[in-house]
Structure 1
Amino acid sequence: MNEKVFRDPVHNYINVNHEVIYDLINSKEFQRLRRVKQVPTTAITFHGAEHSRFTHCLGVYEIARRVTDIFDNKYADIWNPDESLLTMAAALLHDVGHGAYSHTFERLFDTDHEAYTQEIITSPETEINAILRRVSPDFPDKVASVINHTYPNKQVVQLISSQIDCDRMDYLLRDSYYSGVSYGQFDLTRILRVIRPVKDGIVFSASGMHAVEDYLVSRYQMYMQVYFHPASRSMEVLLQNLLKRAKVLYLSDSDYFKQTAPNLLPFFENKAELADYLALDDGVMNTYFQSWMSSEDDILSDLASRFINRKMFKSITFDSHSEKELNRLIELIQSIGFDPDYYTGIHVNFDLPYDIYRPEKTNPRTEINMIQKDGSIIELSNLSALVKTLTGTIFGDRRFYFPKEMLITDDLFSSVKESFMSHISNEHFKH
């Protein structure tokens, strides 16, 4: 086929030279990703972050294409060129199962975007499956096995999912660009120059150690400054409580939701199939939320209004020792009329920027290995003092969310709110 290009603000041009890849991009299941935001609640805080899963998946494909081009040309003795199309297809489709407000929705309705990704790839009912089967009857299963980490060639698996993979490299650069921050920037060109395959996976030339360090520090900073931003997490708590209220109300007033949110019914009834999942996207959900703003249920209408109009909950941090003492704050919130089931929430976010391989763990990580001039391989933290300080260390916090009204003391409930404020010191829980 003639080369197709997509103009991209992160990678300049995304090049498509294979008909299978181009047809996958044009499939209806992949086009749905245009209507699913990459970081939906982050966009409430960083207003430029309106980019979609579609743009991210194209970016992951482009990085995978560049890597496989390098491997095909420089490392044919250790890399099988027959694996290149598989790698590019898995990179393109790795997030095709993400749904509307993906992670928040998953927690409430017990869905799994990775399971949906594999079902979209392997179901004979999808356009994606039909395109993949043109390569070979077992090609859809191969692509799915790369995504679920069971494909036998660890080189391919690590390019799609590891501590430094095509997925992470694109979302750091892309989320950083659209969020308007510089934390996620790193030297992708240098990393692509030093990446290379070995028998059991992927390594990086020791001469590129500082580029890999830069990548890991960028990842750490993006999580601390952007992904874990308190305001973004506030919107997640608000969305979670809004959907929880709708789920409860459905039990007593199903007719209302048949009119205002028909595509959610299979999820309220725990009977959702793939077609039901694919019928939802961010736009559909936002339309439902806007209709709920006029609901006769005060809680549903208020939560919907708060979410649509960005009236966020406030928060304080707390530790594991003080969690039981939050009950007093909940009592005070309830005493002035807020139902704590829907107007409070605990959000816990922690991240492990980097870790070595620990086989005793349930999901051990694939460590980053560097290859030296003599051919010996050494784990990154044994070379880098900077990475050693990050290795095995978890960063993050626990936050308790509550209505902003609790901070306003010039009304009838001022004494209650003053008591509430006495437990807060500089946005942290006061022991």
Structure 2
Amino acid sequence: MSYMQQQLDEEKVFKDPVHRYIHVRDRIIWDLIGTKEFQRLRRVRQLGTTFLTFHGAEHSRFSHSLGVYEIVRRIVEIFQNRPHWDDEERILCLTAALLHDVGHGPYSHSFEKVFRLDHEEFTRAIILGDTEVNEVLKRVDDDFPQKVSEVIAKTYANKLVVSMISSQIDADRMDYLLRDAYFTGVSYGQFDIERILRVMRPQEDQVVIKQSGMHAVEDYIMSRYQMYWQVYFHPVTRSAEVILSKILHRAKSLFEEGYTFKLEPVHFISLFKEKVELDDYIKLDEGIIQYYFQAWQEEDDPILSDLCERFLNRRLFKYMEFNPNVQMEDWHQLYTYFIKAGIDPDYYLIVDSSSDLPYDFYRPGEEEERLPIHLLTKKGEYRELSRESTVVEAISGKKRTDHKLYYPADLIEQIDDQDLKRKISEILDI
């Protein structure tokens, strides 16, 4: 029996608060879960700094990755013996689902912005490189790691396989919405995943939804919309992200200036030099990062020390609504006032913007071409979702953007020059 077909002597299960049980029968899946690169995901939170806003949001990318695998496992069972489905792709779908986030770093999105990294590139590097994950995948055959990498890169020839893991209604989104809603304690991320899975059908180039399941999909789209604005873009979470990114910028800047750290930042050096080797990247997790932040509180540089203390002890920046198209003059004025007050505006006066497009139809030629969700009628015809659903049509193609200005209220309160303090407070309306 080939390695790809090998089954465990006894099914393994993970008890899961979202899916109740996650079932593992295939030897390759069990072996991949046991690799050090996949186990590292236990030490990377799924929601970055969100735990500082919703204290229950301590769940990991490990649990999310298992959840995505479980949803794809169930989809594959539903697809068996249906037209357009090739069961030879089953193991490829399961492994790509399991490994889709294996390249995420600690506080991944903040890290990516500061150090100009791409977690998908590192995911592919882990799959194709000198790793335990690659060693397991090559037991199928020498070409198998490349196939898994292509699914994650969305370049694999079978677009149906790609759409199961990356589309506007995919296993990744379905798991993170349900999981993140559960651990943040909010109700609006819930939707009827059982119904959606039951009405999914394989077609030549994507998963489609039986028209009878349209209302369950509407619920899913609205859940996603609400989660982005109530959880993912929460202004307090973004305040923590702003401070986190400024810590990393400050540490990098000090390194480039030749500053002598009391604790040499050995885990950061390749990041600071922007020459990140895979071995260095795999060693990074959130425990390592917080260890440095803890140590950097004692650094002689007052900005780095202060920012680390703020992040670790949740002394976050305050914020105000800010329209950069109208209020940039206010920002320039504040920038000048902050310098006069001895507060470095590059680290303590930050405009942060968030935007989301909850659902979009196909727009040829755009940088990111979004494959729309199609409904399958009883006559076997396709109907694009927003053409049939007035609920989805109402938000389709509408990009919403939110801008906030973040500042340290406590430092402003300590300004001795009362006239300067008054001018700053008037603009910030504090």
TM-score norm. by structure 1 comes to 0.95
Please give the residue correspondences for 1:166-185 in structure 2 after superposition, counting only pairs within 5 Å.
166-185=171-190
Work out the CA distance in 2 between the residues paired with 1:42 and 1:129.
Answer: 32
| Residue 254 of structure 1, CA deviation | 5.4
Please give the residue correspondences for 1:359-374 in structure 2 after superposition, counting only pairs within 5 Å.
359-374=364-379
Which residue in the other structure is 1:405 paired with? 410
| Residue 406 of structure 1, CA deviation | 5.8
Tell me the secondary structure at the aligned position of residue 322 of structure 1: helix
Please give the residue correspondences for 1:58-97 in structure 2 after superposition, counting only pairs within 5 Å.
58-73=66-81, 75=82, 77-97=83-103
Which residue in the other structure is 2:267 paired with? 263
Please give the residue correspondences for 1:69-218 in structure 2 after superposition, counting only pairs within 5 Å.
69-73=77-81, 75=82, 77-123=83-129, 125-218=130-223
| Residue 236 of structure 1, CA deviation | 0.9
Tell me the secondary structure at the aligned position of residue 221 of structure 1: helix
| Residue 423 of structure 1, CA deviation | 2.1
| Residue 249 of structure 1, CA deviation | 1.1
| Residue 215 of structure 1, CA deviation | 0.2
Which residue in the other structure is 2:5 paired with? none
RMSD in angstroms over aligned alpha carbons? 1.4
Deviations 1:103-152 (A, max 9, x none): 111111111100000010011x1000011111111110000000000001
Work out the CA distance in 2 between the residues paired with 1:40 and 1:316.
Answer: 22
Question: Identity of aligned pairs, percent?
Answer: 51
1:9 aligned to which of 13, 17, 23: 17
2:295 is the counterpart of 1:287: no
2:26 is the counterpart of 1:18: yes
Please give the residue correspondences for 1:220-235 in structure 2 after superposition, counting only pairs within 5 Å.
220-235=225-240
Residues 408, 414 of structure 1: 8 Å contact kept: no
| Residue 25 of structure 1, CA deviation | 0.5
- Opposite residue 43 of structure 1, the aligned amino acid is F
Work out the CA distance in 2 between the residues paired with 1:4 and 1:255.
Answer: 50
| Residue 402 of structure 1, CA deviation | 1.0
Residues 292, 300 of structure 1: 8 Å contact kept: yes
Which residue in the other structure is 2:305 paired with? 301
Which residue in the other structure is 1:54 paired with? 62
Q: Which runs of 4+ in 1 moved over 6 A?
A: none
Tell me the secondary structure at the aligned position of residue 67 of structure 1: helix
1:37 aligned to which of 39, 45, 51: 45
Deviations 1:300-350 (A, max 9, x none): 111111111111011122223224211112222222211111112121100
Residues 35, 52 of structure 1: 8 Å contact kept: yes
Aligned pairs, number: 421
Work out the CA distance in 2 between the residues paired with 1:321 and 1:250.
Answer: 35
Tell me the secondary structure at the aligned position of residue 238 of structure 1: helix
Work out the CA distance in 1 between the residues paired with 2:339 and 2:282.
Answer: 38
- Opposite residue 24 of structure 1, the aligned amino acid is L
Tell me the secondary structure at the aligned position of residue 423 of structure 1: helix
Work out the CA distance in 2 between the residues paired with 1:87 and 1:417.
Answer: 59
Tell me the secondary structure at the aligned position of residue 276 of structure 2: coil
Work out the CA distance in 2 between the residues paired with 1:401 and 1:306.
Answer: 14
Tell me the secondary structure at the aligned position of residue 422 of structure 1: helix
1:390 aligned to which of 388, 395, 405: 395
Worse overlay, 210-219 or 310-319: 310-319
TM-score norm. by structure 2 comes to 0.95
Residues 406, 417 of structure 1: 8 Å contact kept: no
Work out the CA distance in 1 between the residues paired with 2:105 and 2:280.
Answer: 11
Which residue in the other structure is 1:244 paired with? 249
Deviations 1:27-48 (A, max 9, x none): 0000000000101211110010
- Opposite residue 23 of structure 2, the aligned amino acid is N
| Residue 290 of structure 1, CA deviation | 0.4
Tell me the secondary structure at the aligned position of residue 41 of structure 1: helix
| Residue 251 of structure 1, CA deviation | 2.6
Deviations 1:260-284 (A, max 9, x none): 4211111112222000001110000
Tell me the secondary structure at the aligned position of residue 78 of structure 1: coil
Work out the CA distance in 2 between the residues paired with 1:182 and 1:231.
Answer: 19
Work out the CA distance in 1 between the residues paired with 2:366 and 2:88.
Answer: 33
Give ranges in structure 2 of 5+ residues lacking alignment: 1-7
Work out the CA distance in 1 between the residues paired with 2:57 and 2:387.
Answer: 36
Tell me the secondary structure at the aligned position of residue 218 of structure 1: helix
Tell me the secondary structure at the aligned position of residue 398 of structure 1: strand
Question: Structure 1 pair 157/405, CA: closer, same or farther in 2 (3 Å)?
Answer: same
Worse overlay, 347-356 or 411-420: 411-420
Work out the CA distance in 1 between the residues paired with 2:388 and 2:89.
Answer: 31
Work out the CA distance in 1 between the residues paired with 2:173 and 2:232.
Answer: 13
Tell me the secondary structure at the aligned position of residue 136 of structure 2: helix
Tell me the secondary structure at the aligned position of residue 48 of structure 2: coil
Tell me the secondary structure at the aligned position of residue 325 of structure 2: coil
